Chains A and B, each alone.
Chain A
Amino acid sequence: MADLHFLANPARFRRFSQRVLPGLGFATVLMLCACLYMAFFVAPADYQQGQTVRIMFLHVPSAWLSMMGYALLAGLGASLLVWRHPLAALMARAAAPVGASFAAVCLLTGSLWGRPMWGTYWVWDARLTSMLLLFFLYLGHIALSRAYDEPERGDRAAAILALIGVINLPIIKFSVDWWNTLHQPASVTRLDAPAIHNSILVPLLWMAVSLLFLFVFLVLLRTETEIDRRRLENAAAQEEGAPA
C-alpha cells in the first residue's frame, strides 16, 4: 500500500483523479454496455431459475461491492484515526453513499428476483436480512458523518463507527444465519446451486468488474468534489473570521 501514500495529499490526489476520471468514465460506459448485451443476449437461461437468472448479474455483484465498500470505509477509518490521513476522511465521506446505493440495488433486485422465484417480494432470508442490516449500517455512517457542524468531528465519529461496524458485521451475519435456521422458512428455494456454469459465471464476473469500475469512478469523482467543497468551506470560514 506504500505506493498509494502519495495520494494522501489532497492536491496530488486531485491531479491524479482529474487525469484518470475521463478515461475511467468512458471505459465504464463501454464495459457496462457490453455487459448488458452479454447479460441479455449471450447468457442462456438457467435450468432452475429460468430467465430470472439475468437479475443475478446485477444482484450478486452489487452485494459484493456493497460489502467491499464497507471494508473500504473501515480501512479509511483506520487510516484517518491512526495516520490522520486528511484524504481518508474525504474519501470515506464520498464512498459511503456509493456503497449504500449498491446495497440498495442489491436489496431491490433481490426482492424483484424473489417475487417470481419465491412468490413474494420479501422473504426473511438470511442473506437479504443481513444485507438490509448492512444498508442500515451505511445509513448510520452517512447520517453520523453529516451530523456535526464541524465536519472534522463527523469524519472521526464515522471512522470509529466504521471500525466497530466491521467487527460486528461477521457477528451480525452469523446471528442472522442462526436466526434463519431457527425459524426455518417453508418452501424457499435455495440459491446456491451446486456449481455455477461457466456460461453464467463469465458474464457475472464481467458485470462485477464493470460495476467495480463504476464504483471506483464514483468514489474518485465524489472525493474530488469533497476536496473542493472543503476548500470552499475553509475559504468561507476565513472570510467570516477576518474580512479582507
Chain B
Amino acid sequence: MMGGFTALLARDLRLVWRQPGDVGVVLAFYVVAVVLFPLGIGPETNVLQRIAAGVLWSAALFAALLSLERLFAADHEDGTLDLLLLAPWPLELAALAKCTSHWIVTGLPLSLLAPVLGVAFGLDGESLLALFATLLIGTPTLSLIGGLAAALTLGARKSGALLALLALPLCVPTLIFGAGAVETLAAGEGLATHLAILGALALVALGTTPWAIAAALRQAGE
C-alpha cells in the first residue's frame, strides 16, 4: 500500500525535477510579492519589523495557492487520474501523495526562503527561527487545504479564482497562528503554544482533507 504512495510521490517529484522552472516561478513570485511591501509602505525599520511576519506568511499563502491549480489538472487531462481511481490502493493515499509532493516543492522551499527575506525586514535571529519553524509546521496544512480546493474545482469554469476563494477562508486559522507566533515572541512569550496549535491544525487537516479530496476526485472522474 505504501508502495503506491512512494511511487506516486517519486513520480511527481521526478516530473518537477525535469521542469525546475515551475518551482522557480513560485519562489520568484514569493520574493517579488514580499519586496513590494517595503516599496509600498516605506522603508521605516520599525514598521517593517511590525508587519514582517504577517507579510511573509500571507505571501507564502498566495505563493502556495499559485501552483495548486495544476495539481490534479495535468493528471486529469492525460488520464493518470482515471488510473489512480482504478488502482488497488486507496485514493486517499494518492491524494496525500499529491499534497506531499506539493509541499515538498513549495512549502519546504518557501519556509527556507522566508527567513532570508525576513532579514530584509529587520527581524532578529530568534524571530527568523520562529518564522522558519511556523512555516515548516504550517505549510503542510496549506498544501492539504489547497489540494482539497484544487480537487473541488477540477474541471470547473474560472477554476483559478474559485480555488483561491475556497481555500483562503479555510486557511485563516493557520495564518493567524503562524503569523501570531512571531508577534508573541516579540512580546516576550514562548513559542510552544503557537507551534502546538499549528501542529494540531495540521493533524486536523491530515485527518479530514485526504478523504474529502478522494471524494472530490471520485466525482470528478465519474
Touch between A and B in complex, CB under 8 Å?
yes
A133-B169 contact given A144-B153, A176-B176, A178-B176, CB 8 Å threshold: yes
Stretch of A107-115, A156-164, A196-204, A211-219 contacting B (4+ beta carbons < 8 Å):
A156-164
Chain B residues with CB under 8 Å of A168's CB are 170, 173
Min Cβ gap B214→A in Å is 10
Determine which of A149, A163, A165, A179 lies in contact with B176 in the assembled complex, contact meaning CB atoms within 8 Å.
A179
With CB as the reference atom, state the residue of chain A lying closest to B159: A147
B84 to chain A, nearest CB (A): 18
Count residues of B near A (Cβ-Cβ below 8 Å).
Answer: 30
- With A147-B158, A182-B180 known as contacts, the answer to whether A175 contacts B173 (CB < 8 A) is yes
CB distance from A169 to the nearest CB of B (A): 10
- Kindly provide the distance from the CB of A58 to the nearest chain B CB, expressed in whole angstroms: 24
Contact of A139 among B148, B165, B183 (CB under 8 A): B165
Contact mask A133-158 → B, CB, 8 Å, 1/0? 10011011001100111000110110
- A171 interface contact, C-beta 8 A: yes
Q: Is the CB of B215 within 8 A of A172?
A: no
Q: For the complex, what is the distance from the CA of A237 to the CA of B176, rounded to whole Å?
A: 47
* A30 at interface by CB-CB < 8 Å: no
Main secondary structure of the interface of A (DSSP, over half): helix
Report A-chain residues with C-beta under 8 Å of the C-beta of B204: 167, 171
Count of CB-CB pairs between chains A and B under 8 Å: 80
Interface: A81 (CB within 8 A): yes
Q: In the bound complex, do residue A148 and residue B157 qualify as a contact, i.e. CB atoms below 8 Å apart?
A: yes
Chain B residues, Cβ within 8 Å of A81: 215
User: When chains A and B are docked, how far (Å) is the Cα of A211 from the Cα of B108?
Assistant: 49
Do the beta carbons of A148 and B165 come within 8 Å of each other?
A: no
User: Given known contacts A147-B157, A175-B177, is B165 in contact with A136 (CB within 8 Å)?
Assistant: yes
Say yes or no for B219: interface residue by CB 8 A criterion: yes
Asked if B185 lies at the interface with its beta carbon under 8 angstroms from chain A, I say: no
Chain A min CB distance to B99 (Å) = 14
B80 located at the interface, meaning its Cβ lies under 8 Å from any Cβ of chain A in the complex = no
- In the bound assembly, the distance between CA atoms of A178 and B172 in angstroms comes to 12
- Assess the A176–B162 pair: CB atoms within 8 A: no
Interface flag for B46 (CB, 8 Å): no
Number of A residues near B (Cβ < 8 Å) is: 30
- Distance in Å from the Cβ of B75 to the closest Cβ of chain A? 17
Q: Is B133 an interface residue (CB 8 A)?
A: no
B208 touches A164 (CB 8 A): yes
CA distance A112 to B147 in the complex (A): 38
B71 within 8 A of A: no
Residues of B within 8 A of A143 (CB): 162, 165
Flag if A157 contacts B152 (CB, 8 Å): yes
What distance in Å separates the Cβ of A137 from its nearest Cβ neighbour in chain B?
Answer: 5
Whether the Cβ atoms of B170 and A144 lie closer than 8 Å is no
Contact residues in B for A156 (Cβ distance below 8 Å): 219
Q: Is residue B55 contacting chain A, with contact meaning CB distance below 8 A?
A: no
Given A140-B165, A147-B157, A182:B183 Cβ within 8 A: yes
What's the nearest-Cβ distance from chain B to residue A183, in Å? Answer: 8
Most buried by B among A81, A137, A140, A182: A140
Other-chain residue from B153, B157, B170 in contact with A149 (beta carbon distance below 8 A): B157
Cα–Cα distance between A136 and B155 once the two chains are bound (Å) = 22
Which residues of chain A are near B220, meaning CB under 8 Å? Answer: 153
B219 A153 Cβ-Cβ under 8 A: yes
Known contacts: A164-B170, A175-B173. The answer to whether A148 contacts B155 by CB under 8 A is yes
A–B Cβ pairs within 8 angstroms, 19 of them: A133-B172, A136-B165, A136-B168, A139-B165, A140-B165, A140-B166, A140-B169, A143-B162, A144-B166, A148-B155, A148-B156, A154-B156, A172-B172, A174-B173, A175-B172, A175-B176, A178-B177, A179-B180, A182-B184
When A and B form their complex, which 9 residue pairs have the shortest distance between CB atoms, in order from nearest? A175-B173, A147-B156, A136-B169, A156-B219, A140-B166, A179-B176, A175-B176, A157-B152, A140-B165
